[in-house]
């Protein structure tokens, strides 16, 4: 609004200022006959408002007009004649103070306009950065998808079963990273995504790929909190690895079962990730056989500042990871299984 007023033609802003001064004079002059006093306060308020809205030029015109009209309020009231020399000194002093008020108000208006323009520039810059970040995220997602597709095609030419299995796990991890970047949203301060959508989509992808052809259901329950790209990828890798291990070891043969993934916000400003299954459990030997995957889980949990609790029995296994709600500066929490 202020920028619009400042764009008015000079004639319009001067006319508006003069009209406001005349209105103030006509309002106060009848009161002056009943309650004598000086009109300067009302005039100064009009001058400040006009200078702030229209600039210094309109303000100085208002000072000139109000100075002339202020003579009407001194004896003889209603006349442009003055009976006392001290009244002239008061009027001159008012003109000086009003001129200073014009300069200050006009400068304040310029500062407000400049701040508003800077805010608009920052908003446009932020919107531009948001678009660029989204485009970058989708570009990275496409690159991940291309790499995953390439590795998947190449794996068809590998005869070694163990090598194909390792490569398949790598493909799933790459796809999961691509999913994170594909769902990133650019916020005011960081690139993030909602945990609820992320985990629900991740569970759907895992059920359609890792557990493909098996009677194993994967269910997800997740609170909705913003996750940075780094934390989402880290948690996604942990879930990906735990689900693949569960499908491979907890449900041997054609055994059916279910895997439940829970991500929740705790009352003590912590987040908890739980991956549970109702499989056959695992032995220490089986745990050693997944050394590379276990090292990955240990390393990521350590980086997130989390403590991982592992429980297993013939009725199933559960993995509970607690991490701070915000990323820690350092983390030295060891990971030990409990049975």
- Label each residue of 224-288 as H, E or C: CCEEEHHHHHHHHHHHHHHHHHHHHHHCCCCCCEEEEEEEEECCCCEEEEEEEECCCCCCHHHHH
pLDDT tens-place string over residues 292-329 = 467 778 888 888 888 888 888 888 899 999 998 875 44
Q: For 163, how many CA atoms within 13 A lie in the half-sphere containing its CB?
A: 8
In this predicted structure, the answer to whether residue 100 has a pLDDT above a threshold of 90 is: yes
Residues 92 and 174 grouped into a single domain: no
Mean pLDDT of the chain: 81
pLDDT of residue 35: 58
Residues 324 and 191 grouped into a single domain: yes
Number of domains in the chain: 2
In a domain, 330, yes or no: yes
Residues 167 and 253 grouped into a single domain: yes
pLDDT tens-place string over residues 109-164 = 889 888 888 888 888 887 776 677 667 666 776 777 778 777 777 777 787 777 87
Rg of the chain in Å (alpha carbons): 37
Of the three residues 96, 122, 148, the one that is the final residue of a domain is 122
- Which is more confidently placed, 39 or 198? 198
The C-alpha atoms of residue 63 and residue 49 are separated, in whole angstroms, by: 12
Range of the domain at 13: 2-122
The percentage of the chain sitting over the pLDDT mark of 90, rounded to a whole number, equals 25
């Amino acid at each position: 609004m202020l920028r619009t007023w400042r764009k008015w033609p000079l004639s319009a802003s001067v006319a508006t200022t003069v009209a406001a001064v005349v209105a103030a004079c006509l309002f106060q002059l009848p009161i002056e006959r009943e309650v004598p006093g000086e009109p300067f306060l009302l005039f100064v308020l009009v001058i400040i408002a006009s200078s702030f809205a229209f600039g210094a030029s309109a303000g100085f015109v208002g000072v000139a007009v109000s100075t002339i009209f202020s003579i009407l309020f001194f004896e003889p009231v209603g006349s442009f004649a003055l009976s006392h020399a001290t009244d002239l000194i008061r009027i001159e002093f008012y003109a000086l103070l009003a001129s200073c008020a014009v300069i200050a108000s006009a400068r304040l208006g310029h500062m407000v306009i400049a701040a508003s323009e800077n805010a608009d520039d920052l908003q446009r810059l932020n919107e531009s950065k948001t678009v660029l970040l989204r485009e970058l995220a989708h570009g990275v997602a496409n690159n991940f998808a291309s790499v995953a597709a390439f590795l998947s095609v190449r794996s068809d030419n590998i005869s070694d079963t163990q090598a194909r299995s390792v490569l398949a796990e790598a493909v799933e991890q790459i796809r999961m990273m691509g999913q994170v970047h594909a769902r990133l949203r650019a916020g005011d301060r960081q690139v993030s995504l909602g945990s609820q959508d992320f985990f629900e989509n991740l569970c759907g992808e895992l059920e359609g790929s890792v557990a493909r052809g098996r009677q194993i259901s994967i269910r997800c329950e997740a609170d909705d909190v913003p996750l940075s790209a780094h934390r989402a990828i880290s948690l996604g890798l942990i879930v990906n690895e735990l689900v693949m291990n569960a499908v491979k070891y907890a449900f041997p043969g054609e055994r059916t079962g279910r895997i439940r993934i829970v991500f929740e916000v705790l009352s003590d400003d912590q987040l908890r990730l739980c991956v549970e299954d109702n499989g056959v459990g695992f032995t220490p030997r089986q745990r050693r056989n997944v050394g590379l995957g276990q090292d990955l889980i240990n390393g990521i949990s350590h980086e997130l500042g989390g403590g991982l609790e592992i429980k297993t029995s013939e009725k199933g296994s559960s993995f509970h990871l607690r991490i701070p709600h915000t990323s820690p500066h350092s983390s030295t929490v060891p990971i030990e299984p409990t049975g």
